[in-house]
Amino acid sequence: MKLLIVDAMNLIRRMYAAAEGSATQLDATQSRCLAAIDRNIEALQATHVVMVFEQHGDTWRHQLYADYKLGRKPMPEALAHALPDVRRYFEQAGIASLYIPHWEADDVIATLANKAALTGVDVVIMSTDKGFCQLVNARIRVRNHFERFDWDEERVTERFALRPSQLVDFWAMTGDSTNHLPGVAGIGPKTAGQLLDQHQELDRIFCALPELEERWQQALQKHWQDALLTRVLARLRLDVPLGIHLRDLRCRKAH
């Protein structure tokens, strides 16, 4: 079995922007999204498929850090109002949709991917969000539909010079501008990578503080709380109560 999980808003918002200026922008968006999903179902020979949606609102991350995603461009109002109809459109086309109130789609996707992979299902997450790279393993990969490549273990290692399991600790130090996460001021990607090469994980870096260069010691001592907060916020949750069974996601193409 192979499960295709579509990061719905990631795909829809990109297609919506690409259709800007069209007299039927929403219709064009829906048809382009459906065509993209169909191509990936066929290419992957997916037996199961689901689009994971979310709605605007505060989540547990906002409760921990009020500035989470601060400054991110809001969803176009017309698209936000049309989302219930958009979900129905895809469901009528035979593609299941999933929305868990008060949870980010990223956490829902991560939980679903992890649970499916643990049962022996191969999983492909269709999204341009690099945050999903932390999930990559022998059973889970991330597909960038627009640039036409997959994040697998080899590509993650080539790109970041780190294992997927080290990425959250990497972002804990570098921060994440996309989600407005602070990280450790003064530590950039090169230094964070070197520290993880030497010590493997953030906790061991903290234990080895006396051995580090003075400037890295000072940065980590001053901003350790930011690092730990960012690590919590960047790590995708694997415990979302899904309330579904894999059989509910069987591909039923009606188009």
- Rg from Cα positions in the chain: 19
Residues 108 and 129 in one domain: yes
Residues 119 and 198 in one domain: no
Distance between CA atoms of residues 108 and 166, nearest Å: 21
Residues 22 and 83 in one domain: yes
Residues 149 and 54 in one domain: yes
Residue 113 inside a domain? The answer is yes
Residue 130 backbone phi and psi in degrees, to 5: -70, -15
SS3 15: helix
CATH number at residue 80: 3.40.50.1010
Residues 244 and 200 in one domain: no
Residues 165 and 46 in one domain: no
Domain, as residue range, for 31: 2-158+240-249
Residues 53 and 174 in one domain: no
CB 145 within 8 A of CB 44: no
Residue 121 inside a domain? The answer is yes
Residues 213 and 105 in one domain: no
CATH number at residue 166: 1.10.150.20
Q: Which residues contact 187 (CB under 8 A, 6 or more apart)?
A: 173, 174, 195, 216, 219, 220
CB 119 within 8 A of CB 11: no
Residue indicated by tokens 């901003």: 223
Q: What is the pLDDT of residue 72?
A: 85
Q: What is the pLDDT of residue 253?
A: 61
List, for residues 140-193, the tens digit of each pLDDT value.
Answer: 999 999 999 999 999 999 999 999 999 999 999 999 998 999 999 999 999 999
SS3 23: coil
* Mean pLDDT of the residues in the chain: 94
Q: What is the pLDDT of residue 254?
A: 45
Residue 47 inside a domain? The answer is yes
Q: What is the pLDDT of residue 21?
A: 81
Residue 254 inside a domain? The answer is no
Residue 104 inside a domain? The answer is yes
Element (H, E) at 2: strand 2-7
Residue 128 inside a domain? The answer is yes
Residues 151 and 69 in one domain: yes
23 pLDDT exceeds 90? no
Residues 173 and 130 in one domain: no
Which of 89, 109, 99, 84 lies closest to 27 in space, CA to CA? 89
Residues 15 and 90 in one domain: yes
Amino acid 251 reads C
Residue 126 inside a domain? The answer is yes
Residues 52 and 107 in one domain: yes
Residue 255 inside a domain? The answer is no
Count: domains in the chain: 2
Predicted TM-score of the model (pTM): 0.95
